[in-house]
Chain A
Amino acid sequence: MSVVTDVTVKGAALAAAAAGDFSGLPIHNPSIECASRERIRAIQLEKLIAQVAWTYERVPWYRARMEERGVSPADIRTLEDVRKLPFTDKSALRDTFPYGLFAVPLSEVAELHASSGTTGKPIVVGYNAHDMDMWADCIMRLVQMAGVVPGDRAQMAFGYGMFTGGFGLHYGLQRLGCMMIPAGSGNTERHIAMIEDYGTTVLVATPSYALHMCEVGEKMGFDWEKSTLRVGLFGGEPCPPGLKAEIEARMHIVCTDNYGLTEVMGPGVSGECLASRDTQHIAEDHFLWEVVDPDTGEPVAEGEMGELVLTPLGKQAIPVLRYRTHDLTRVVTEPCACGRTTARMQKVRARSDDMLIIRGTNVFPSQVEDVLAGIDGVTPHYRIVVDNEGGLDRMTVHAELKPEAFSDSFEDMENLRRSIEERLKGMLLVGVRVKLVEPGGIERSLGKTKHVEDLRK
């Protein structure tokens, strides 16, 4: 039995999803998103062959590397043949800065974007008109997974500028037929006033900024339940499930997040649907995915955890082959209850390069996040500081006390603090010091939240 739900009614999409009914949620391109696995693979193969030829003919950097390996476009006959191609690492984009990997003349490039580049030069990428269409197609798919429809009013809380998140979502939402409210980042009170004044229905933000908006709104006496806001589209940083659930409950909206990276396009590589909230549907006709062992580069068994490697299919201005994302995930290809058949990647909670090694033990910040999410007395905000005192690594987790968890007793506070230490030790298998900080004491960020400060010398 299925009852078509009007997803534009606040709360309806989540209620329908909770009842297992996804019939009212739009699917942007069913001929691809609901195609058989065979058809998806056929599309991928056709596009891969064309992509390799395009890249080989137009980008000397790739041609040289393929020749080094003795591979020519004619060697690509099956999807598995992608393994014959060289990997691309971030350094390739940095070394060829700015235009070394471009496959079209700059006169054909419609737009440049760049990633922040924490060290040295940024990574710069270009898009021609065809790439902009492909990008908008990806965005239109993922926003509809959350129940966004033409006519929605979408307020942007990402910064615009060179960062792909702002314009990427902006163009895709606009193409779908949404009214864009390009507020940009910062000035939280103004954002909240705009939601009220303009009747905003969709908010695009990082999850940590959404939570900050929620807190500020509550302090201002803004009634999130009565507001027009219905959907939160998150990106820019990983969104732990506990944080998302908290935002959904407090802001009375449905929130999804998407995955993407500047080097292969930007946001929109994959997106979360309401049927399978731990995973994200990959736009498989636009991206060929592989999951490899981060150490050997060899493929892992289907469904196993490994590093995601992406080859954009049909991307023209800057075609990247086998991009090493350093993001750890597993991919499943079973059909989803939402009706889609595209492969789903488990949400990225860890990167092969953000792993900390503490006294010989591997520690991922996401593990700390999981432990804190299960403790009542602290907020989901945290910070990890690593230093070495007397040559020994020391990890300190700064956890933010919830106001209601405070009691006028050092004994209670120390019990809370020690219980967090115990739980972290149980999860990480390494001793951790927990420092309780005041509510609001962990800085909220507008972009990617920096959770780790490694002061080891």
Chain B
Amino acid sequence: MSVQQISVFLESRPGHLRRVLDAFEDSHVNVRGYSASDTGDYGIVRFVVDDPARALEVLADMGAAATAADVLCLRLNDEPGELARVMGVMADCDINVTYSYSLISTFIVLSVKDIARAEELLAAQPVELVRKADLAAPLADRRA
């Protein structure tokens, strides 16, 4: 049920993120969400894309330091209080979220230590877990 996230090591300097995005574009890798954070010198940029395998290939060709990790992806309803509700579910299940960021529309990514356990716990909860295939689909279909 989890989705793959691609992380890239980038120096915190103008143009470095753009180089990666240009390469994605050239190879028709579609970015569905991302988060960028840095230490001052270097940063880790995390991407959720429609085709993680191709994204990794593109990055390897560039000689970039990149890696893939499994993360949870949840779909939220676009209404007030929804994010609080979902984070409440996580807390009630005693799942620690190490970091989280939002994607297109009302999808959010959550990084947790034990994906399998989290999925098991969340199956019984009122949250909607998103599959990899769902992310590749155009936005319009999700709204239908």
Interface residues of A (CB under 8 A from B): 215, 219, 401-403, 405-410, 413-414, 435-441
Contacts and interface: CB of A to CB of B under 8 A. Distances in A.
17 contacts: A401-B65, A403-B63, A403-B66, A405-B65, A406-B66, A408-B7, A408-B67, A413-B9, A413-B39, A435-B41, A435-B42, A436-B42, A438-B10, A438-B16, A438-B42, A439-B64, A441-B11
Contacts of B67: 406-408
Contact residues of A: prevailing secondary structure: mixed
Nearest to B43: A410
A219 B64 CA distance: 13
A239 B37 CA distance: 37
B139 interface: no
Interface string B42-85: 10101000000000000011011111010000000000000000
Contacts of A441: 11
A409 B39 CA distance: 12
B16 A408 contact: no
B42 A413 contact: yes
Contacts of A439: 63-65
Contact residues of B: prevailing secondary structure: strand
B11 to A, nearest CB: 5
A437 B42 contact: yes
Contact of A436 (B37, B41, B60, B66): B41
A170 to B, nearest CB: 33
Given A407-B67, A438-B9, 13 more contacts: A215-B63, A401-B65, A403-B65, A403-B66, A405-B65, A406-B67, A408-B5, A408-B44, A408-B67, A408-B69, A410-B39, A438-B16, A438-B42
Interface of B: 5, 7, 9-11, 16, 37, 39, 41-42, 44, 46, 60-61, 63-67, 69
Nearest to A436: B42
Contacts, number: 52
A410 B35 CA distance: 14
Nearest to B6: A408
A437 B65 contact: no
A408 B39 CA distance: 14
Nearest to A400: B65
B52 to A, nearest CB: 13
Given A403-B63, A406-B66, A413 B11 contact: no
A421 B143 CA distance: 51
A439 B39 CA distance: 18
B39 A406 contact: no
Contacts of A436: 9, 41-42
Given A413-B9, A414-B39, A438-B16, A403 B64 contact: yes
Contacts of B11: 437-438, 441
A408 B42 CA distance: 13
A408 B7 CA distance: 6
A401 B42 CA distance: 11
A83 B42 CA distance: 54
Given A401-B65, A438-B16, A440-B63, A406 B9 contact: yes
B90 to A, nearest CB: 20
Nearest to A408: B7
B47 to A, nearest CB: 11
A401 B60 CA distance: 14
Contacts of A410: 37, 39, 44
A405 to B, nearest CB: 7
